Amino acid sequence: MAMLLLIGMLPDRVLGQRRPPSPPPGPAQSPSAGQRALVPPITEADVEPVADFQGARRVAASPTTLFYVVDARASTVTAVAPAGRVVVTLGGRGADAGAFDEPLDVDPTNGLEIFVADAGNGRIQHFSRSGKYIESFPVGRVDPGNRTSARQPLFDVGRDGSDARADGRPIAVRAAANGDLFVLDGRERQIVRYGRQRRPEPFAGGFDARDGQLVEPVAMAVDEDRLIVADAGRRQLLFYDRVGSVERAIPVPDDVRIRNMAVHGEHLWLVGPAHIVIFDLRRGSPVGRIPVDLEEPIVDATRLEGTLALLTPTRLLLAPRVRLPR
């Protein structure tokens, strides 16, 4: 359960009360400035296999030194030790509690609980560290044909989970320290906040968001009190502040096709099929790239205790001899 800690969580607030749109962002440095290779290209000779998968989409590392791998084709989330031992496997295809239909993201938080974006079932599922099902709640409309109840969530605790399905498509989920959840709904193209009562509240994006409107969001990350969304349609990284307004927008160069992204310390990793672009969040500029030349394209990457981990659709790989930027 790749435990991505939300550093400096977003405070409680009444959402939907937006302040006036932010002034146009000032000149932004494009990641295209980061063409410099930070290390030689990583090849098959540099990596060590950890585990095999069918259609992996996401990997996250937890403070308990485990990798959590989302396999969309197998509809599973697997916790794997660096030596390759499978600790627990969640899911399997289905609509009942604990089952998935094309899961796309996982947030293992601090290692004590796990949240899974169950995209095909239109819901978020919550598990304990040991893999016990706790609850699930819908993303999007529970009953698309009933406008009066379409946005009323059915908070499913410990039941079969089937009532918590909806027509949304959660493609990313991040948990805050105060218990709030932020979900990127690919179908509605917006970020939704779920408070402790799991009532959905629009946070950012959406058709009425003006400069913050999302076109084709593909990934979401958290840096202190900002949410960062990669939008393939806009070819931009959008930085949203604590009230959901766009703080700045940074263009993504044409040769970068972002599959996933994550914050590691002061760096934002933008993962594409053949490289990882390292972006300095404090300076607002790219540092360089880690080129990757494997038999398959990579779909995600992370680090665990200083070691680079690469994910392809069928393999989790370690590159222990690659020196990562601090």
Supply the range of the domain harboring residue 142. Answer: 31-319
d(CA 297, CA 315): 11
For residue 109, pLDDT over 90 is answered with no
Given pLDDT bands bounded at 50, 70 and 90, which one contains residue 3? very low
In a domain, 249, yes or no: yes
Half-sphere exposure of 167 (CA within 13 A, CB side): 10
In a domain, 295, yes or no: yes
The radius of gyration of the chain from alpha carbons, rounded to an integer in Å, stands at 19
d(CA 301, CA 276): 8
Adjacent-strand bridge partners of 52: 315
Number of domains forming the structure of the chain:
1
Q: Which single residue is written with the structure tokens 């969040």?
A: 281
Whole-model pTM: value is 0.84
Question: Mapped to the 3 state alphabet, what secondary structure does 135-151 carry?
Answer: EEEECCCCCCCCCCCCC
Query: How does pLDDT run across 279-299, given as a tens digit for each residue?
Result: 999 888 889 999 999 999 999
d(CA 112, CA 3): 9
Using CA atoms, how far residue 65 sits from 132, 173, 256, 307, in Å, is 19, 20, 30, 11
Q: Is 208 exposed, middle or buried (0-12, 13-18, 19+ CB in 10 A)?
A: exposed
Query: How does pLDDT run across 56-100, given as a tens digit for each residue?
Result: 999 999 988 999 999 999 999 999 999 999 999 999 999 999 999
In a domain, 6, yes or no: no
In a domain, 4, yes or no: no
In a domain, 308, yes or no: yes
Query: Which pairs count as long-range contacts for 10-14, CB under 8 Å and 24+ apart, including other chains?
Result: 10/176, 10/178, 10/180, 10/182, 10/225, 10/227, 10/242, 11/178, 11/225, 11/242, 12/178, 12/180, 12/195, 13/242, 13/243
In whole angstroms, what separates CA 114 from the centre of its chain? 13
Q: What is the pLDDT of residue 110?
A: 83
**End-to-end Cα, the chain, rounded Å:** 23
Q: What is the pLDDT of residue 6?
A: 35
In a domain, 21, yes or no: no
In a domain, 157, yes or no: yes
In a domain, 25, yes or no: no
Q: Which residues contact 85 (CB under 8 A, 6 or more apart)?
A: none
- Encoded tokens for 143: 């009953």
d(CA 191, CA 196): 17
Q: What is the pLDDT of residue 160?
A: 54
Q: What is the pLDDT of residue 159?
A: 53
d(CA 44, CA 164): 43
Q: Which residues contact 227 (CB under 8 A, 6 or more apart)?
A: 10, 174, 182, 191, 203, 204, 220, 221, 239, 240
Residue 312 in 3-state DSSP? coil
Q: Which residues contact 23 (CB under 8 A, 6 or more apart)?
A: none
Q: How many residues does the chain have?
A: 326
Query: For residue 83, what is the domain's CATH number?
Result: 2.120.10.30
Tell me the mean pLDDT in the region 234-262.
91
